[in-house]
């Protein structure tokens, strides 16, 4: 099960009634935060989630509304007695930006490892899940992120019995080990069915529509995209500032067919995103005009 | 008249129900902000005051809760189309800290002049008002600030008539000019009464009690001090972290006799500052356990 919370839904600047866009994901004790704008630590606290288990922070790009809350968040994680290492993933230049911002957060009780994305698309494997960063099209280098959990096939007892595989090896084969005894080798595929559908979450803001977003959005249980503007007459503004309109985001979802689409990163000029809800759902039915703090649990199909 | 708003009253970290401590002062079209923590721009917006006329930002010290909101505030001032120069006053090292934080706010439509305080006590004169910075006693270099407006004496028509001062000079003498005509020199003191009581506001957080605070607090119409802790058993913590308890702040006010004392910069552990209100008012009667957004207008005695 993956816990997901869209901590804020605002773009450009934090507002009294709307935090800056940021996503927190929790999976098996690991916390992953995507972006950390001014006030993200407050939104997290309001949600009641602890900053302590944040192990990975993914930064989409270096515009202030996506990273200005980093020094405060780091200090608050330290105050929460976090001592385990933190990995920060982001565009080239990340190390310098983090070092600069830490001028006001120099002492922390945990180490920070900065990982700069080198490729247009690059995967980072962790224990039990994968983060895939893919470059998008903004006016500075910017990445979207997919978070995915693979799921092995079912253990097939009949196969194991038919092949006379010793009972003592069953559990280890299920865990993916390859074993040898009496010159016989036992591999997981001997007892496991075909891999089952895993879980996938794709998150992307601050970009024009791209083929890469569509590609990464495929098979997503949840797709979170920016819907900076709703009005048709703001389309040109979206093109100029390299953002996406709500209709453009919904059009990506229509092609990629995720289970659900959440829109976020609304312009401060968009007072009531829900006003555009019908228009968006007319393009892609399972669309949600997300509000701050919206959360869900992603579960395997038969869980 | 001076508009004063205590935008936030929290110390250490922003909370869902309490912004970080910051003060905004407006005087004759000039805006002065003291400290700018994470979320200060949101508190300002909530108050309904524009960030555009902020001309001076005074930073008490470089702990994150007092400056982490600076890059976001600068960008929001830029978005509000501010083009007039900004002066930032703060401890030595200010220029470096501001430059570092601006890694995420490199382009602004106004210039920034950093003024580093060199002395233990130093005055900065502006058009019509004075800011006095005085070093306090925290675990890093930290300053309190007094903001004061002098007030000339009353124009005394009888004196001007008795001295046969030409009518055409009366207004210019009132404005402080010295004039000469027919080998006679006319000076303002010839027509003006003794200087009247001006306005003074003193602000100080993050310090142990010091004689300098008491000295600067004298004659203040409003004294704003930190009251980090209320419980008696937190006194030792206050000494250790170099903060002030509410009782210590009230004791300073008792000696300095400002017209009013507001407490601020409450520890996140202080849920309801008003619980300590009676204790504080028992020490200094005109004390207010301030809440976010508390504002007032300071006026000359007979205005």
User: A15 and A139: one domain?
Assistant: yes
Cβ of B39 within 8 Å of Cβ of A96? The answer is: no
User: A167 and A98: one domain?
Assistant: no
Using a CB–CB cut-off of 8 Å, the residues of A that contact B are: 12-16, 37-39, 41-42, 45-46, 62-65, 67-69, 71-72, 75-76, 79, 96-97, 100-101, 103-105
User: A105 and A63: one domain?
Assistant: yes
User: B185 and B294: one domain?
Assistant: no
B90-145 pLDDT, tens digit each: 999 999 999 999 999 999 999 999 999 999 999 999 999 999 999 999 999 999 99
A103-157 pLDDT, tens digit each: 999 999 999 999 999 999 999 999 999 999 999 999 999 999 999 999 989 999 9
Structure tokens at A10: 């605002």
Domain tally, chain A: 2
Residue-range definition of the domain harbouring residue B189: 153-194
Q: What is chain A's mean pLDDT, rounded?
A: 96
Q: Is B65 a catalytic residue?
A: yes
DSSP code of residue B212 = H
Q: Which of A15, A103, A269 to mutate to test the interface with B (most CBs of B within 10 A)?
A: A103
User: B7 and B47: one domain?
Assistant: yes
User: A77 and A106: one domain?
Assistant: yes
- Selecting from A15, A16, A97 the residue whose C-beta is nearest the C-beta of B104 gives A97
Domain for residue B54, yes or no?
yes
A251-266 pLDDT, tens digit each: 999 999 999 999 999 9
* pTM for the full predicted model: 0.93
Strand partners, A223: A202, A261
User: A80 and A208: one domain?
Assistant: yes
CATH assignment at residue B294: 3.60.15.10
Domain for residue A303, yes or no?
no
Domain for residue A29, yes or no?
yes
- Whether residue A301 is predicted with pLDDT greater than 90 in this model: the reply is no
Domain for residue B303, yes or no?
no
Cβ of B64 within 8 Å of Cβ of A16? The answer is: no
Domain for residue B266, yes or no?
yes
User: A167 and A244: one domain?
Assistant: no
User: A44 and A126: one domain?
Assistant: yes
Which of A194, A227, A246 is the endpoint of a domain? A194
Q: What is the pLDDT of residue B110?
A: 98
* Catalytic member of B65, B206, B234, B292: B65
Domain for residue B290, yes or no?
yes
Domain for residue A40, yes or no?
yes
A199-249 pLDDT, tens digit each: 999 999 999 999 999 999 999 999 999 999 999 999 999 999 999 999 999
Distance from CA of B98 to the nearest CA of A (A): 9
User: A171 and A253: one domain?
Assistant: no
- What's the per-residue H, E or C state across chain A? CEEEEEEECECCCCECCECECEEEEEECCEEEEECCCCCHHHHHHHHCCCCCCEEEEECCCCCHHHHCCHHHHHHHHHHCCCCCCEEEEECCCHHHHHHHHHHHCCCCCCCEEEEECCCCEEEEEECCEEEEEEECECCCCCEEEEEEEEECCCECHHHHHHCCCCHHHHHHHHCCCCEEECCEEECHHHCECCCEEEEEEEEECCCECCHHHHHHHCCCCEEEEECCECCHHHHHHHHHHCCCEHHHHHHHHHHHCCCCEEEECECCCCCCHHHHHHHHHHHCCCEEECCCCEEEEECCCCC
Domain for residue B250, yes or no?
yes
User: B40 and B137: one domain?
Assistant: yes
Which of A194, A210, A245 is the endpoint of a domain? A194
Which of A171, A194, A217 is the endpoint of a domain? A194
* Catalytic member of A35, A55, A65, A292: A65
Q: What is the pLDDT of residue A94?
A: 98
User: B54 and B118: one domain?
Assistant: yes
Residues of B with Cβ-Cβ distance to A20 under 8 angstroms: none
Q: What is the pLDDT of residue B302?
A: 78
- Whether residue B303 is predicted with pLDDT greater than 80 in this model: the reply is no
């Amino acid at each position: 099960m993956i816990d997901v919370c869209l901590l804020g839904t605002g773009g450009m600047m934090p507002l009294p009634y709307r935090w800056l866009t940021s996503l927190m994901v929790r999976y098996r004790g690991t916390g992953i935060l995507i972006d950390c704008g001014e006030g993200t630590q407050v939104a997290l606290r309001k949600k009641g989630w602890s900053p302590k288990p944040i192990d990975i922070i993914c930064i989409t790009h270096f515009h202030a509304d996506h990273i200005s809350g980093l020094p405060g968040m780091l200090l608050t994680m330290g105050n929460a007695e976090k001592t385990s290492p933190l990995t920060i993933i982001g565009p080239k230049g990340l190390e310098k930006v983090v070092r600069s911002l830490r001028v006001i957060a120099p002492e922390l009780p945990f180490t920070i490892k900065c990982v700069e994305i080198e490729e247009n698309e690059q995967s980072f494997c962790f224990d039990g899940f994968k983060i895939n960063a893919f470059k998008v099209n903004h006016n500075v280098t910017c990445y979207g992120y997919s978070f995915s959990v693979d799921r092995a096939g079912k253990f097939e007892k009949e196969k194991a019995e038919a092949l006379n595989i010793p009972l003592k090896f069953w559990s280890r084969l299920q865990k993916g080990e390859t074993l040898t005894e009496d010159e016989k080798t036992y591999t997981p595929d001997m007892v496991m069915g075909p891999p089952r559908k895993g879980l996938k979450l794709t998150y992307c803001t601050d970009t024009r529509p791209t083929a890469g977003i569509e590609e990464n959005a495929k098979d997503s249980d949840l797709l979170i995209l920016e819907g900076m503007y709703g009005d048709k007459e703001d389309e040109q503004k979206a093109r100029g500032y390299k953002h996406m309109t709500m209709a453009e985001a919904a059009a990506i979802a229509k092609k990629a067919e995720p289970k659900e689409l959440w829109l976020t990163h609304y312009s401060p000029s968009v007072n009531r995103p829900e006003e555009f809800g019908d228009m968006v759902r007319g393009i892609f039915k399972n669309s949600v005009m997300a509000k701050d703090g919206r959360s869900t649990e992603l579960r395997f199909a038969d869980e």
